[in-house]
Structure 1
């Protein structure tokens, strides 16, 4: 019997899965009968159907209903779904549609390598071309239909597998799975950062086998950690996962358009017109007319006044009354995120940029005036700190230079960087505090359902029910036709990555002590549910890198011997991916939930994406290091000012700060002493909001999310403070006005336009990168809208 069939079948009676290669998919057998078979259809890996099939109930009811119908008149299982979900997805399904096909694998092999390669190169460049997942989503639909026309309907036998090259019409589920696989593999990899830092700055080359093993395993660890949050955050209808809902809306619109549904055809026309329009427009702010990316109105009024220029500039100033027409400064998040999160973020921007920065610059907020909006480190007299002098190299070991530190004195941060770090620490702790106070009822309810699923099964001596079967809404009824991903799959995946990574660290590779790896896993596991809870309801993702680097610095501060600066990045990659990749897995499982995809298919799609993508991440990293080394390490200035490796330079500076100098020395300085109190603020502020919520339950204090506020306060505006007014304007139009007063129009077009704008923007950036920046750089001639001194015309700044 085939390996995949052994992995994907259900271990119980009464559940049916296809056995033969007949593309009608009508012949079924029980699990006991399957054990005698010698092959399984590749198209049907993991699919199953129950004897009493809830899906039959679903198919017998009319899944098309009037969205204007009052909720009290809807069927109960449909009324349980949030309105925004009912308007964006379909509520019928055919479990026998081929999904895991040869066409799917072929398209995955086509789309993943360029994405993995491009996104990895982006981390070394000043400007970059994003590889849009929406491009994959659209292109794979048309390529899949073409393959369905041209491929022969031929059965292939390969070892233990039999599969048909062309099992029938291209299906929307194949389109979904290709997109999810690309979302996993056609991305960059956090593991390239420590490997690149060690090679470029310290001449420590990581062996290829170790590098590939590390890069694969940190991502797969995150996927295994998705098991922690799936029972709490995936199946409950109240967790809508806005970005997953947007992609599902686009999938369904494309599928309906292909079926000649009149409304869907109109939607897709709007989508492609919006895509083309954004594609054409993006050439203006990004190349032809850069002034439109930052319309500094105050600079036009007083172009030679330094104070007015600083207040009005969005590029080096605080961006007061500054408008951006560049979609890169707005993004689709304002058309997905609930309006309350956008209001919190805008208030935080006002406080940080328009109140605190002026107080720090001209008031008495701080006595250290140097580097106000810089993320660099400084000496007490405001000079850039010579961090390289703090390192002593002895063979393969790097030691802290106490003499140099005493000579140059304590490290100083710019004022904005200081309160940014304070609120970064606060945001991490507040996520835990917030879910304990406000989310415990939701999590407790999910836990009770999870336990009851097993207790009822033991009493009745029947097979354990799927998680989806413990919920009564229509979506979960549909998903009950498919088997859940067994917990042991996640455990096996974690065990594999644990053994590999522990071997790497114990043998002295990747720069960190083995025990810090254990701590990274512990902190990564703790944060998944709090951050996943926030992301599932608000589309807000919290960056956790600063906290991870601090924790690593604290752990090794008393360690005797060498401390490699790249170690902080190694630790951050492990702890960070424990959350980031878990979120990818959960979000893709939610897309599969909305699109009625077998959860096991989604699980394997993530692993296949990683299997294909990571080698191309490594190849891109090696190409960049080997061909652009002198540019990236700063020995030679790139004449195109593109291959600067500024992200690595910043990480290296932070590593010196936390690894060599250490948190104790860093925060011993009176100027930096208040920063660690961010943890206390993050723990206590949610308690205050919770008290106000209980005292005034009708005042919506529960929407005053401290984690969102603190994370927005930790934003760094030194390089770019434009776009925030534009974001709140677009967000108000989309998520307040149209959502509240023109809801029917909003439900038809909002998610489609968000996807179209992102796709059009990314396509233009790719075209600019290929034709204007990849070889000899072509510059736009200077003119009034592209002034050589200041594209904003803030000449006094």
Structure 2
């Protein structure tokens, strides 16, 4: 990767701008003449030089206006440079600075530079690294070849992922796979298709409009992104249709399956569109997870090889494309070892091998799912394992560290609950996420149901067992309740300015529609920051009217209500509306947190809790509420993420609208058509199922439906319930945010306090059961190295290669996983040696999981049978 001295001086084949860029970065590396400004402003040397050339366009009065809004919007933004905010505060609030600017030349100069780069580009270096600050509105985007490649790939991915989601273990095609394969397909079409076409509405549509470009590539990626997820309707359909669940014949009908699949998918689409001004368009909504996708596209369509300084005192000039190919090849070769040849490298339980017979020690250090707490400083050599909880090269460091802190809190809580045998947890695995019976075995919910409708039978319940949770699962529920209250409170306190700004923009746009003219802004530069260069570039395209998305939302509601009300479900159609109301309430708060931190707060537990309490004793009603309250919100976040991709790459909004809508409809119908096919497999959704179609997700869904729907949360969390104390999580989340607010007021200049994020800390507690600390610890190492070391010291190097490293490794693993599954796993090709069978008979994994206490001799623990609540 390093280059020779001769290569440093060579500029053959490099454009003038690239030559200048290389020269600037070389000077920066050698003499440090502009080190202070680049270090403090989070700018590369090239960006600084470009800003200096335009500095005369940023007079002092405009600087004050821009910096004022920049400070207000980013005061509580952990993605924004902390020390820079202090200098902004001095610039704005120290009267001496503006009264005598000539005496504070360095500070005024820096503020002018910051104001300029924030208005001519993005205020974030991570965005500037991958998102272009220029646009060509005439570049072809939604072309005929995009429709062909995008729909074919979308249908293939939707079919494979929906079919094999029922398999244990599952296999799936990732979006990065489609993104990777789209490039050669597009280039092939570019080479072989003739330039012939038709003219519609004054625009020519050709089979070959020229070079396959970045916008076309991104639209294919967006099509795949909206299609590759398996339909959540499958869980409801299977639970209703199969005879050993609810055995309801109407659920096998394609019309029922299609109505509910389309309804649930399109509600998310409508929600994303209606909230895009709150969570997509503003510059502070960075969407860190989207940046790696843009980086991968950029790698295929740019050829910048200008030299940049990097680690080990060397200059680097690999293009992003070359870096992608080399890292992809290395990752592809290496992952054969943890993926197939030496699978022990994934769960490298070397600490457990020291004393495998010591139960407490094994529980502390084991990295195996369900069985241990994973206190292991180096638990894996598998990149897939390292990013199991967070993607460390993409996720901001403060997000990773806050979640890790939350996990540490959870660790002590689990130990305190388990080793004191609170609620009989010591008879169970320490960190499991299943429901257990009082005999120490998995809870069999079918033993408490009776009749054709599979309703709760109290007599059977009294003779069987109450449900029990492991210590790890109890902690997860506690933090679930805490994260909901913490997220709402945090957004209200610390993001109220951003939300108010978005409401003003919505009101302004609506007013301009009613008056049929542009509404003048009171401040000429009021939108310079929140509406950054990408927003202003997108203004050259026609916007999608709100009523388009509103019609989609209403149509989806009608489909969902028809899917519930037109069949003998025994559920009121109003449950669909109630679910969507919940989604509307939480969409902006959780979307805003995700867009800023890359941490998604899922609503599954809250939806189960509210749905089960609202309509007690009705498993299907709770399931429908969960689908339209939780799943639609998660889908809406995914759709909004794609809208941000299009926003960064400057694709016309109306083109993105159709590129999302059409594949969603087509693939929803395709997925619904797969359900009956899978239910035709012999012994499907049982341990004896052919082709491994044992449906682990469906079984989990059925268990949740019975517990939260049939039994109801009142029996578990209500007055006198065993786990009522876990509801303390709600006020704890609220108080955490208030404490954080107090700390910020008391220590306004503390970097440590600013780096904290109470909603993220609460989210860290959710990472337990079945995952453990080992799934996070190496992500901390990688994140710190990338974001705190490389990015801080070699910003230009980090900007070019960080996201390419992440995407190339993920693409290599995704491609190889499919090859191993279809080429080796299905034919049952294995390598039988110790490296693939690491668990000794006396280890926790070898014994099926360690228990701190043995079940009493009478065969069960807890209350006597017949006296259950």
Short-chain TM bin:
0.7 to 0.9
Q: How much does 1:522 deviate?
A: 0.6
Task: Output one character per residue of 1:690-723: Cα deviation in whole Å (capped at 9) or x when no partner.
Answer: 2222222223535432222222212333466532
The gaps in structure 2 that reach 5 residues or longer are: 1-43, 52-109, 308-315, 851-869
Aligned mates of 1:667, 1:79 — CA distance in 2: 51
Of residues 138, 141, 144, the one that matches 2:186 is 144
* 1:499-514 → structure 2 map (5 Å cutoff): 499-508=558-567, 512-514=571-573
Task: Output one character per residue of 1:282-306: Cα deviation in whole Å (capped at 9) or x when no partner.
Answer: 2211221122112223223324433
Aligned mates of 1:161, 1:456 — CA distance in 2: 28
Q: How much does 1:614 deviate?
A: 1.6
- Tell me, yes or no, if structure 1 residue 222 matches structure 2 residue 268: yes
Cross-structure match for 2:26: none
2:585 is paired with a residue of what secondary structure? helix
Cross-structure match for 2:714: 664
Cross-structure match for 2:654: 600
Q: How much does 1:270 deviate?
A: 1.3
Cross-structure match for 2:22: none
Distance 1:309 1:116, change over 3 A: same
Cross-structure match for 2:277: 231
Distance 1:78 1:388, change over 3 A: same
Task: Output one character per residue of 1:149-185: Cα deviation in whole Å (capped at 9) or x when no partner.
Answer: 2112222489999732222222221111111111111
Cross-structure match for 1:60: none
* 1:439-458 → structure 2 map (5 Å cutoff): 439-454=495-510
Of residues 763, 773, 798, the one that matches 1:711 is 763
- Tell me, yes or no, if structure 1 residue 165 matches structure 2 residue 207: yes
Distance 1:662 1:312, change over 3 A: same
Q: How much does 1:567 deviate?
A: 4.2
The gaps in structure 1 that reach 5 residues or longer are: 1-63
Cross-structure match for 1:427: 483
Task: Output one character per residue of 1:491-538: Cα deviation in whole Å (capped at 9) or x when no partner.
Answer: 111121122222222223566421211110110011111111111111
Aligned mates of 1:509, 1:457 — CA distance in 2: 44
Q: How much does 1:362 deviate?
A: 2.8
Is the contact made by 2:580 and 2:629 (CA closer than 8 Å) also made in structure 1?
yes
Q: How much does 1:398 deviate?
A: 3.2
Of residues 589, 610, 630, the one that matches 1:530 is 589
* 1:22-421 → structure 2 map (5 Å cutoff): 66-69=46-49, 72-73=112-113, 75=116, 77-78=119-120, 81-156=123-198, 163-200=205-242, 201-205=245-249, 206=251, 207-257=253-303, 266-315=319-368, 316-321=371-376, 322-331=378-387, 333-353=391-411, 355-363=412-420, 367-371=424-428, 372-380=430-438, 382-394=440-452, 397-421=453-477
Aligned mates of 1:748, 1:678 — CA distance in 2: 42
Distance 1:627 1:457, change over 3 A: closer
Is the contact made by 1:304 and 1:794 (CA closer than 8 Å) also made in structure 2?
no
* 1:502-651 → structure 2 map (5 Å cutoff): 502-508=561-567, 512-557=571-616, 563=618, 565-628=619-682, 630-634=683-687, 636=688, 642-651=692-701
Aligned mates of 2:711, 2:148 — CA distance in 1: 50
TM-score of the two chains, using structure 2 as the length reference: 0.77
2:451 is paired with a residue of what secondary structure? strand
Is the contact made by 1:217 and 1:501 (CA closer than 8 Å) also made in structure 2?
yes
Aligned mates of 1:471, 1:683 — CA distance in 2: 28
Of residues 697, 704, 721, the one that matches 2:748 is 697
Aligned mates of 2:520, 2:208 — CA distance in 1: 36
Q: How much does 1:576 deviate?
A: 2.1
Q: How much does 1:449 deviate?
A: 3.4
TM-score of the two chains, using structure 1 as the length reference: 0.84
Aligned mates of 1:792, 1:367 — CA distance in 2: 23
- Tell me, yes or no, if structure 1 residue 724 matches structure 2 residue 776: yes
Is the contact made by 2:579 and 2:627 (CA closer than 8 Å) also made in structure 1?
no
Distance 1:510 1:694, change over 3 A: farther
Aligned mates of 1:726, 1:80 — CA distance in 2: 31
Is the contact made by 1:128 and 1:769 (CA closer than 8 Å) also made in structure 2?
no
Q: How much does 1:248 deviate?
A: 1.6
Q: How much does 1:194 deviate?
A: 0.5
Aligned mates of 1:607, 1:510 — CA distance in 2: 29
Of residues 751, 763, 767, the one that matches 2:815 is 763
Greater shift, 384-393 or 235-244, is seen at 384-393
Q: How much does 1:792 deviate?
A: 8.7
1:361 is paired with a residue of what secondary structure? helix
Aligned mates of 2:584, 2:520 — CA distance in 1: 26
Of residues 702, 706, 713, the one that matches 1:652 is 702
Q: How much does 1:785 deviate?
A: 5.6
Cross-structure match for 2:12: none
Q: How much does 1:364 deviate?
A: 5.8
Aligned mates of 1:554, 1:249 — CA distance in 2: 45
Is the contact made by 2:274 and 2:550 (CA closer than 8 Å) also made in structure 1?
no
Aligned mates of 1:430, 1:358 — CA distance in 2: 24
Distance 1:261 1:107, change over 3 A: farther
Number of aligned residue pairs: 719
Distance 1:434 1:788, change over 3 A: closer
Is the contact made by 2:158 and 2:667 (CA closer than 8 Å) also made in structure 1?
yes
1:323 is paired with a residue of what secondary structure? coil
Distance 1:511 1:707, change over 3 A: farther
Pairwise CA RMSD: 3.0
Aligned mates of 1:228, 1:119 — CA distance in 2: 28
Is the contact made by 2:264 and 2:632 (CA closer than 8 Å) also made in structure 1?
yes
Distance 1:599 1:435, change over 3 A: same
Distance 1:159 1:226, change over 3 A: closer
Greater shift, 176-185 or 449-458, is seen at 449-458
Aligned mates of 1:377, 1:656 — CA distance in 2: 12
Aligned mates of 1:304, 1:117 — CA distance in 2: 46
Aligned mates of 1:375, 1:785 — CA distance in 2: 25
Is the contact made by 2:583 and 2:632 (CA closer than 8 Å) also made in structure 1?
yes
Is the contact made by 1:424 and 1:714 (CA closer than 8 Å) also made in structure 2?
yes
Task: Output one character per residue of 1:641-698: Cα deviation in whole Å (capped at 9) or x when no partner.
Answer: x432112111111111111111111225553121223222233321222222222222
Is the contact made by 2:419 and 2:426 (CA closer than 8 Å) also made in structure 1?
no
Task: Output one character per residue of 1:725-772: Cα deviation in whole Å (capped at 9) or x when no partner.
Answer: 211111111122112222221111001111111111111111111111
Task: Output one character per residue of 1:245-296: Cα deviation in whole Å (capped at 9) or x when no partner.
Answer: 2222222232113x98898862211111111111222221122112211222
